[in-house]
Every structure is written in C-alpha cells, then in structure tokens.
Amino acid sequence: MLYLRRAAFCKRRAALYKRRAALCWFGIAFMHVHRISEWFFITILPFLELIHYLCTHNKKSIMNKVQLFLAFAFAGMIFVSCKEKNKSNDIIAPKPVKEVQTGPASMEVIKQDREVDWVGSQYRIEIVRTPDKELALTKDEAGKKYYDNHITVKILRKDGSQFFGRTFTKADFVSYLDESTRRDGALLGIVLDKAEENQLRFAASVGSPDVLSDQYIPMLLTITRMGAVSIVKDNRLDAGAPEEEDEGV
C-alpha cells in the first residue's frame, strides 16, 4: 500500500515538473516572438514558483485563482507587446512653417567706400543705397512689391571736408526710362566707373528689384571738378550709338 502511494506521489510530482517546464518554455518563446526584455520575463518567474508550491501542496482552490490571475497577466503582456511592436522608431520632425510676407520687401542696404586719385589730389568716395519707405512702391516681374531705394553719394577731400554730396532717387533718371521701368522699376545702384581728367564717371541703373532679374536700364552719371552733375543713357553695348547728355541735373 505504501509502495502504491509513493508511486502515485512520484507520478504527480513528475507531472507538476513537466507543467512547470512547459510554462517556462512558453514564457521564453513568448518573450522572443514579441521582443520583450529579459527583466520583464524574470518578473513572472515568482508566479511560476508559486504555482509549483501550490501544486506541490495540492491546494486546488488557491491554485485555480492563481492560474486565473496568470491568465489575465499573460493577456496583458500580449496587449502591451503588440502596442510596443506597433511603435515606430522614426523621428517625425515638425513641418517647417513658411513665413508669409505681409508687406513690401526691402532690398539690401549696400555701402561702398573707395579712394581715388583725381585732379592731382586724393579723394574718398562714399556711396550708400538704402530702402526708402517714403517713395512709391516698385514691383518685380512676378508682381511682388518692394520699397524703392535712394542712393547717397559723397565725395570727401583728403582733409575730410566734403567736396560733393547728394541723394539720388529714381526721379533723377526718369527721362531715360521706358514706361514700364518708370512705373515699376527701382533705383538699383550707382558705382564708380573711373576717374577722368576733369570728371568722375559713375555707372547707374534702374530696373526690376528682384536680385535674380536681368531687367534694367544702364546709365552713366558724371560729376565734374566744379560739382556739376550730368546723366546719359549708357549705349556702349549698342555699337555706334551716340550718348545724349542732360547737363545740370
């Protein structure tokens, strides 16, 4: 009789160990498939030990409750692992917001500072282009509006005293502009071309305010040793075309 009891006990014990091994293998496979970290799986080992303890002591009612609890725990693990699996590692950067221009654009402020030998002495020439909000608006070929510019030209003697100073606008060149440029063009620039015997010659231009545009009208502005200003349309690109001067501008 004792022999039969021992055999039955060993049989039950073997079945319990088999069940415990099956649970462990199930947990390992579940962790591998759903990419659950090792620490998470280790946390369920105490529950497996508890099952083994309850099975060993044959407490069926408590064991049923624990098994029900573990069933819910495994269901929760499946839900969490699926949620983690759906997460993307991609970093989504916020879409840049394009700034909307609410008013006319301004062209860049440009400053020039040059020294030149002229009529036996040294002179310093300062030229500054500045957007002017008091002037009529201009626009490019696409209809984008810009503020027009005024350009200040100063010629200083070696001792720093001013020989010449004047602020030019598009109105000073309007006689040499076509209708479209007169209406929409901006004063683009005045730069020193060269110093001649009795005059300083500058290149000037009026045209589209778009820096990428090549639509402009070139002109020549001269300042004599007496401070007189004259403007002509620059026809040097047109072979043989005469230059018409406008004295005393």
Count of Cβ atoms closer than 10 Å to residue 74 Cβ: 16
What average pLDDT does the structure give for the chain? 77
Element of type H or E holding 118 = strand 110-118
Is residue 2 predicted with pLDDT exceeding 80?
A: no
Domain 110-247 has CATH 2.40.128.510: yes
**Who wins on pLDDT, 97 or 179?**
179
Question: Residue 155 — pLDDT band, cuts 50, 70, 90?
Answer: very high
Report which DSSP code applies to 210.
-
**Who wins on pLDDT, 30 or 113?**
113
Nearest Cα residue to 223 out of 113, 127, 130, 149: 127
pLDDT digits 0-9 by tens, 35-47: 555 555 555 555 5
List the structure tokens of 175: 């006689």
Nearest Cα residue to 236 out of 249, 212, 219: 219
pLDDT digits 0-9 by tens, 131-144: 999 999 999 999 99
Backbone angles phi, psi at 139, to 5 degrees: -155, 155
Using the structure block, give the residue that is written with the tokens 């901006």.
186
| Domain residue limits, the chain | 2-86, 110-247
Is residue 79 predicted with pLDDT exceeding 70?
A: no
Count of Cβ atoms closer than 10 Å to residue 188 Cβ: 22
* Amino acid in position 83: K
Element of type H or E holding 10 = helix 2-34
Nearest Cα residue to 141 out of 219, 187, 218, 207: 207
Alpha carbon dihedral 178, 181, 184, 187, in 10-degree steps, equals -140
